[in-house]
Chains A and B, each alone.
Chain A
Amino acid sequence: MCLGIPGQIVAVTDAARMMAMAEVSGVRRAVNVACIAQGPLEDLVGQWALIHVGFAMAVIDEDEAAKTLEALRGLGEAQETLAAMAAGDAALEGQR
Chain B
Amino acid sequence: MKYADEFRDPKAARALLERIAVVTDAIGATAENPVRIMEICGGHTHAIFRYGLDKLVPEGLDFIHGPGCPVCVLPMARVDECVELAEDPRVIFTTFGDAMRVPGSRKSLLQAKAEGADIRMVYSPLDALEIARRNPAREVVFFGLGFETTTPSTALSIQAAAAEGLANFSVFCNHITVPPPIKALLDDPYMRLDGFVGPGHVSMVIGIHPYDFIARDYGKPIVVAGFEPLDLLQSVLMVLEQIRDGRAEVENQYARVVPEHGNPVSLAAMADVYEPRPSFEWRGLGEIDASGLRIRPAYAAYDAEVKFGVGYGAESRNIPEPEGCACGAVMTGRIKPVACPQFGRGCTPEMPLGALMVSSEGACAAYYQYGGARAEAV
Whether the Cβ atoms of A57 and B263 lie closer than 8 Å is yes
Whether the Cβ atoms of B120 and A60 lie closer than 8 Å is no
B50 on the interface (CB 8 Å rule)? yes
Chain A neighbourhood of B69, CB < 8 A = 2
Nearest B-chain residue to A87, judged by Cβ: B121
Whether the Cβ atoms of A88 and B124 lie closer than 8 Å is yes
Q: Assuming A1-B96, A2-B41, A55-B153, is B201 touching A84 (CB within 8 A)?
A: no
Q: Assuming A68-B227, A71-B228, A91-B131, is B149 touching A54 (CB within 8 A)?
A: no
Whether the Cβ atoms of B121 and A64 lie closer than 8 Å is no
Whole-angstrom distance from the CB of A43 to the nearest CB of chain B?
16
Chain A neighbourhood of B147, CB < 8 A = 2
Whether the Cβ atoms of B123 and A71 lie closer than 8 Å is no
A30 on the interface (CB 8 Å rule)? yes
Chain A neighbourhood of B131, CB < 8 A = 91-92
Nearest B-chain residue to A81, judged by Cβ: B123
Residues 145-160 of chain B, each 1 if its beta carbon lies under 8 Å from chain A, else 0: 1110110110010001
Q: Assuming A2-B42, A64-B257, A75-B47, is B126 touching A95 (CB within 8 A)?
A: no
Whole-angstrom distance from the CB of B121 to the nearest CB of chain A?
5
Whether the Cβ atoms of A58 and B153 lie closer than 8 Å is no
Nearest B-chain residue to A93, judged by Cβ: B134
Report the separation of the CA atoms of residues A35 and B134 in the bound assembly, to the nearest whole angstrom.
26
Residues 6-49 of chain A, each 1 if its beta carbon lies under 8 Å from chain B, else 0: 00000000000100000000000111101111000000000000
The one of B145, B146, B265, B360 that contacts A35, using a Cβ cutoff of 8 Å: B265
Report the separation of the CA atoms of residues A71 and B8 in the bound assembly, to the nearest whole angstrom.
9
Whole-angstrom distance from the CB of A30 to the nearest CB of chain B?
7
Report the separation of the CA atoms of residues A91 and B156 in the bound assembly, to the nearest whole angstrom.
21
Q: How large is the interface on B (under 10, 10 to 19, 20 to 34, 35 or more residues)?
A: 35 or more
Whether the Cβ atoms of B153 and A54 lie closer than 8 Å is yes
B98 on the interface (CB 8 Å rule)? yes
Report the separation of the CA atoms of residues A73 and B24 in the bound assembly, to the nearest whole angstrom.
31
Whether the Cβ atoms of B266 and A91 lie closer than 8 Å is no
Chain B neighbourhood of A85, CB < 8 A = 123
Whether the Cβ atoms of B263 and A95 lie closer than 8 Å is no
The one of B50, B126, B201 that contacts A54, using a Cβ cutoff of 8 Å: B126
Whether the Cβ atoms of B201 and A52 lie closer than 8 Å is yes
Whole-angstrom distance from the CB of B82 to the nearest CB of chain A?
15
Residues 65-76 of chain A, each 1 if its beta carbon lies under 8 Å from chain B, else 0: 001101110111
Whether the Cβ atoms of A50 and B46 lie closer than 8 Å is no
Whole-angstrom distance from the CB of A82 to the nearest CB of chain B?
9
Q: Assuming A35-B266, A60-B257, A64-B257, is B50 touching A2 (CB within 8 A)?
A: no
Whether the Cβ atoms of B152 and A55 lie closer than 8 Å is yes
Q: Assuming A84-B121, A87-B97, A91-B121, is B153 touching A53 (CB within 8 A)?
A: yes
15 further A-B pairs in the complex, CB-CB below 8 A; given A53-B96, A64-B256, A91-B127: A2-B149, A4-B201, A53-B125, A54-B124, A55-B126, A57-B201, A60-B257, A68-B228, A70-B228, A75-B360, A80-B360, A83-B97, A84-B96, A88-B124, A95-B118
Sample 24 A-B pairs with CB under 8 A, ordered by A number. Answer: A1-B97, A1-B150, A2-B41, A2-B149, A4-B149, A29-B123, A35-B266, A36-B265, A37-B265, A50-B201, A53-B96, A53-B124, A54-B124, A54-B125, A54-B126, A55-B124, A55-B152, A71-B229, A84-B97, A84-B123, A87-B122, A88-B121, A88-B127, A91-B121
B interface list, Cβ under 8 A from A = 6, 8, 41-43, 46-47, 50-51, 69-70, 92, 94, 96-98, 118, 120-127, 130-131, 134, 145-147, 149-150, 152-153, 156, 160, 201, 204-205, 227-229, 256-257, 263, 265-266, 269, 360-361
